[in-house]
Amino acid sequence: MSSSTIYLVRHAESAHNVSKDFSLRDPGLTELGVTQASALQSTFPALSSVAVVLASPLTRTLETTIAGFGHILSSGDTKLVLDPDLQERSDLPCDTGSPPAALKTKFPALNFSGLKDDWYVKEGAYSADDTAVVARAKAVRQRLADIVQGLEKEETDKKDAVVITHGVFMKFLADDPAIDLPKAGWKAFTLGESAEGDAVLVPVE
């Protein structure tokens, strides 16, 4: 069991959450959503110990990241990783991201150089079928294990990670069909290992 804590964070309220118009392409946060995300600056319990923030590159997760965690990211002590494996499960327009060029226009302060041009295309590894989603959830958990292992070797008080993602994908990532966080809600986990040697998320009770 790792000594680091992994915080899964659900994005704040998005336009399609209210309108139920799932044909909206990569919608952003509502005014309430911005308020919810901004509240994380004062309500999130462990900001000073966060070494890395991993975020889905969809607009609503990026806006949640900036509003809730932008102040620690701008300090230079906390790293931001844009991880396409964290995108939402479905291939509906609302769950389909934007090309890096469009994201650069929306978010000029963020670095999208590590994002492939076709990251948002819902095919292959990013298709909406369970097999593909299970595989990328497993890949994210292993990535987190590698990150945490590196952090725990460093002489630093910053050993925790924040993962900003989506409601349905989170069920696969946590391997918990019942997890249903509120908008801008979070849950703490540590990293463990399955009998097969795979990284697993263990809830902090």
Cα 88 off chain centre by: 10
Average pLDDT over residues 92-121: 96
Q: Which helix (H) or strand (E) holds 169?
A: helix 167-173
Domains of the chain in sequence order: 6-187 (3.40.50.1240)
pTM of the entire structure? 0.96
Q: What percent of the chain has pLDDT over 70?
A: 99
Position 52 scores a pLDDT of 97
Alpha-carbon separation of residue 66 from 69, 110, 186 (angstroms): 6, 10, 16
What does the pLDDT look like over 107-139, one tens digit per residue?
A: 999 999 999 999 999 999 999 999 999 999 999
Alpha-carbon separation of residue 201 from 8, 41, 123, 128 (angstroms): 10, 24, 27, 22
CB 161 within 8 A of CB 86: no
What does the pLDDT look like over 148-205, one tens digit per residue?
A: 999 888 878 899 999 999 999 999 999 999 999 999 999 999 999 999 999 999 999 8
Position 1 scores a pLDDT of 62
